[in-house]
Amino acid sequence: MGPVRTVVVNTALRELLAHLDWTPMPRAQRLRAQEVCLELITDGSRPTITVPLPHDQRIAEIARQIMADPADNHSIDDWAYRTSQSSRTIARAFRAETGLTFTQWRTHARMARAVELLGEDLPVRVVARRVGYTTSSAFTAAFRRLLKQPPSEFVPGRAP
């Protein structure tokens, strides 16, 4: 037995594992599906992003909406208006609950989703748009700042 390693479980792998868990199938078919699972496993030694989720009701819904749509570009002032709060209240709550500013937290949320999308083998330009960046270069710069490596290194099958 080799060393224990952390792995990344992307959406396709997670769904296939669930399917294997709940679906009876002939042995040969199960073995083929298990082989596909092994091919989908990516190295978990790559850096990961932790996105602390706030529990404070003043900002929990904001966080949920940003996680659901990381491309949402509403500013903290927009969120303040939409939630009938002051932007200072939101800013203080994010800092107190997550240890990050609103902008830092949103960047973490965007990059966490970007890592998932890159694990699904989507092109960097597509991932950039889906997480709120208008250009691949701006996305790559932000990704590199936070994860200390370019998004191209998160493509499945590529060694870190």
pLDDT in tens, 129-154: 999 999 999 999 999 999 888 898 77
- Tell the residue number behind the tokens 């960097």, with chain if given: 124
DSSP string, 12-46: HHHHHHHHHHH----HHHHHHHHHHHHHH-EETTS
**Measured distance CA(16)–CA(120) in Å, rounded:** 13
List CB contacts of 153: < 8 A, sequence separation 6 or more: 46, 160
Closest CA to 126 of 147, 155, 149, 91: 155
**Measured distance CA(11)–CA(32) in Å, rounded:** 19
Strands 7-8 and 42-43: antiparallel
Query: Considering only 40-49, 50-59, 97-106, which range has the smallest mean pLDDT?
Result: 40-49
Q: pTM to 2 decimals?
A: 0.70
Query: Considering only 34-38, 40-44, 84-88, 92-96, which range has the smallest mean pLDDT?
Result: 40-44
| Residue 3 pLDDT grade (very low, low, confident, very high; cuts 50, 70, 90) | low
Q: What is the mean pLDDT of the chain?
A: 87
- Tell the residue number behind the tokens 């499945």, with chain if given: 156
| Residue 39 pLDDT grade (very low, low, confident, very high; cuts 50, 70, 90) | confident
